[in-house]
Structure 1
Amino acid sequence: MCNATGAVCAAIWRDLDRSIVTSIHSIQYLRGLAACAVVCFHVSEQFGGPFDVGAAGVDIFFVISGFIMWVTTAGRPADPWRFMGRRITRIVPLYWIVTVLTAAGILIKPQFFYGHFFSVPNFVGSLFFVPVLQENALHPIVIQGWTLCYEMMFYLVFTLVLFLGERWRFGVLTGALVAIVALHSIFPAGYARAFTDPVVLEFAAGVGVGRLWLQGARLPLGVGLAMAGAGFLLLAASPLFDDEMPRALRWGLPATLIVAGAVFAERARPFKPAALPSFLGDASYSIYLWHVLVGVLTTGVVLRIGTPAALQPATILVATLVFSAVLYLVAEKPLVALLHPQRPKGAVKARDAAAAGAAE
């Protein structure tokens, strides 16, 4: 634990939050891969293609989320209010922007937004992560935003657990997530049943992987690669499984194997990251949030200019990925810089010196 003053300690951990995550290059790679997989799924769905497994990118995101939240908070001064505040300012502003623009698009050209549902209650509910339910599933204005409803619920549970002493947090957090899912079969149709879906267990799986990683657990390189490979093979084979199999088992278990295998393989053999997959990891949230809206606009342009039918899926896919990534640079990155300003290098050095002096 840090013996420096509370303010200096908080500054140290604030700067470490991002550096720890981005220094685990396999996590960055998987974030980019997951976002691209979801985009591929939606383009495939648009053209009646077979790539339903691309939706499992969401499950990889959930496991990664549990991993990141545990790794960036364990062993550090607990500040629940700051934790939740940073989660809100990181997730909500861009989500609200995309929600408003999507709602405007639905109102202007509803025929372009197949499967979307606009109403004033759904618009307001979407902004606060309690959208309308359709067939017992969350259905926000930004259709892929249902995942953020679960993310925010997880952040809320995580925030409450941070009020506890550190020795209790892991047990209480995982126990709470398991208890939430245990209530799923008890609740009738409605929000309670939707928010207790077994997919919540994927966050717990990520927390478990993060705890093992922080404890210094190691696996041989071959074992880590075999775990990740087994996860990908299970995803590839998932169309062969029973359609009634719970998502947390069908895609959540492979996602956990992929994330765990990747981080432990990297620990066994660290590597220098490549620029493109690292960038896609950084841009993954923007790619995920923007891609449906961008895809609708791209489709309109592709059809208008008379692109041959055989080229339309690939053209829409590439254009959607490119423009969504560009929006990371022109929208998300400046927004994050505004809401989470980085300290100048000189200030960081002065802070480190102050921390070292206080610790002596």
Structure 2
Amino acid sequence: MTPSRIAPIQWLRALAATLVLLMHASDMIDSGPVALTGKFVPSVPNLSMFGATGVDLFFVISGFVMAQSLATADADSWRFLAKRWLRIVPLFACVSAVYMMIMHDPLTAPAAWMSITVLPVLDGAGYHVPALYPGWTLGFEFAFYVIVAVAMRAPQRRVETLLALTVALALIGSVVHPGWAPLRLLLNPLLLEFALGVGVWMAWRNGISARYATPALVIGTVLLVVGIAFGLGVPLSLQIEVAVAGTSGLARTWTWGIPWALVVIGVIDTSAEGRFERIVARVGDASYSTYLTHPCLIALLWMVGGYAPTMSPYLFALAFIVASTMLGLAVHRWIERPLLARLQRRPSVSIRRAPALA
């Protein structure tokens, strides 16, 4: 069974996408296009930051998914990278074009290259956030895919090789910060979150996760709650440039990556076939479309928000999350899946496996 069809993976993808939507809803509530009756949970200062941890959960899931792929794939590294490029870039480029048309942004050279490569190949010491700003995470995804492709060349124990390479590059990146932006993605402490996902897969494959599911879930949840309410004693920044630079060291992985990895261990062996679980899994299927398209909805809100009635911040957040999820489901059904089928020219191949960020 592929990881794209392991139901808990899809549930977690749905959760990760919803957390990102919550973060952006919170941002708009603080200073956004719609008149609101108040602020959003002002007594919980880290709640908006908690929404950003959807990205950390996505990275952990991606490590799990790629470990499973590596364990079952052949050793054709170039074919693997080409398939990953087809899976990520065409939809990202299309949505980027739509977003820039809505925003009336000119197509700069760095933005154009980012839309094609998802890597900041034209950046040096600085970093240009892609026009479609969630795309910054795709650069980390593809950097990790490069490590997976290298691990494919190992004659045996490829998953263990992947884990060792990822940890080594992450630790090097916590102290070394190269001057070329793509290399900073490949040497970056955030790669440890992918490594955590690989470790979760190894625990799952060897039956360890089932034995320790309950304590892992409890500890992971407690750490997340503590992180929301008080933090874990390490300063964190949500600035994209800081994440790419790698200057925050291991703080983000310590605060959010480890708790989410424990949560994944806690739920990965769960089995449920009810209607609600199937609906959540479908939302997880569409998580990449949701992740990419919701900035278009934000841009439209800035254009027409002045005509919207005054509403509660809670109602606004709920409406934004539901609308963004429905948009993602529609794009996944009528654009993403047909596009992938046409690009791959093999409609019989499952096209539901997405980058975990996605």
> CA–CA distance in 2 between the matches of 1:290 and 1:134?
28
The answer on whether the counterparts of 1:66 and 1:206 sit within 8 Å (CA) in structure 2 is: yes
Residue in 2 that maps onto 1:149? 139
- Which range moves more in the overlay, 127-136 or 138-147? 127-136
- Which range moves more in the overlay, 98-107 or 279-288? 98-107
Uncovered stretches (5+) of structure 1, i.e. residues with no partner? 1-18, 111-117, 345-360
Residue in 2 that maps onto 1:113? none
Residue in 1 that maps onto 2:217? 228
Alignment counterpart, residue 212 of structure 1, candidates 198, 203, 208:
203
After TM superposition, list the pairs within 5 Å mapping 1:314-333 onto structure 2. Answer: 314-333=318-337
> CA–CA distance in 2 between the matches of 1:68 and 1:324?
21
After TM superposition, list the pairs within 5 Å mapping 1:327-342 onto structure 2. Answer: 327-340=331-344, 341-342=346-347
**Post-superposition shift, 1:307?**
4.6
**Post-superposition shift, 1:107?**
2.2
Q: Which amino acid aligns with 1:149?
A: G
The answer on whether the counterparts of 1:102 and 1:293 sit within 8 Å (CA) in structure 2 is: yes
Cα deviation, 1:107-129, whole Å, max 9, x if unaligned, reads 26x9xxxxxxx633233234322
> CA–CA distance in 2 between the matches of 1:126 and 1:76?
28
Report the CA distance shift for 1:137/1:183 in structure 2 as closer, same or farther (over 3 A): farther
Uncovered stretches (5+) of structure 2, i.e. residues with no partner? 31-39, 41-46, 237-250, 350-358
**Post-superposition shift, 1:134?**
11
**Post-superposition shift, 1:71?**
1.1
**Post-superposition shift, 1:76?**
4.6
The residue matched to 2:100 in structure 1 has which SS? helix
Residue in 1 that maps onto 2:8? 26
- Which range moves more in the overlay, 157-166 or 235-244? 235-244
Q: What is the aligned-residue identity percentage?
A: 31
Residue in 2 that maps onto 1:171? 160
Report the CA distance shift for 1:298/1:316 in structure 2 as closer, same or farther (over 3 A): farther
After TM superposition, list the pairs within 5 Å mapping 1:236-251 onto structure 2. Answer: 236-239=225-228, 240-241=230-231, 242-244=233-235, 246-251=251-256
> CA–CA distance in 1 between the matches of 2:216 and 2:273?
21
2:102 maps to 1:105: yes
The answer on whether the counterparts of 2:15 and 2:54 sit within 8 Å (CA) in structure 1 is: yes
Residue in 1 that maps onto 2:278? 275
- Which range moves more in the overlay, 184-193 or 126-135? 126-135
The residue matched to 1:74 in structure 2 has which SS? helix
The answer on whether the counterparts of 1:298 and 1:316 sit within 8 Å (CA) in structure 2 is: no
Q: Which amino acid aligns with 1:140?
A: P
Alignment counterpart, residue 197 of structure 1, candidates 182, 188, 194:
188
2:23 maps to 1:41: yes
2:56 maps to 1:59: yes
2:270 maps to 1:262: no
Q: CA RMSD in A?
A: 2.7
> CA–CA distance in 1 between the matches of 2:219 and 2:15?
17
Q: Which amino acid aligns with 1:150?
A: F
Report the CA distance shift for 1:75/1:81 in structure 2 as closer, same or farther (over 3 A): same
Structure (1 or 2) with the greater helix fraction: 1
For this pair of structures, how many residues does the alignment match?
Answer: 312
- Which range moves more in the overlay, 41-50 or 252-261? 41-50
Residue in 2 that maps onto 1:350? none
> CA–CA distance in 1 between the matches of 2:116 and 2:320?
28
**Post-superposition shift, 1:194?**
4.8
Q: Max radius of gyration: which structure?
A: 1
2:276 maps to 1:286: no
Report the CA distance shift for 1:339/1:299 in structure 2 as closer, same or farther (over 3 A): same
> CA–CA distance in 1 between the matches of 2:179 and 2:348?
48
> CA–CA distance in 1 between the matches of 2:192 and 2:167?
7
**Post-superposition shift, 1:299?**
4.7
> CA–CA distance in 2 between the matches of 1:165 and 1:155?
18
> CA–CA distance in 1 between the matches of 2:207 and 2:347?
29
**Post-superposition shift, 1:133?**
6.5
**Post-superposition shift, 1:152?**
0.4
> CA–CA distance in 1 between the matches of 2:221 and 2:124?
31
The answer on whether the counterparts of 1:26 and 1:262 sit within 8 Å (CA) in structure 2 is: yes
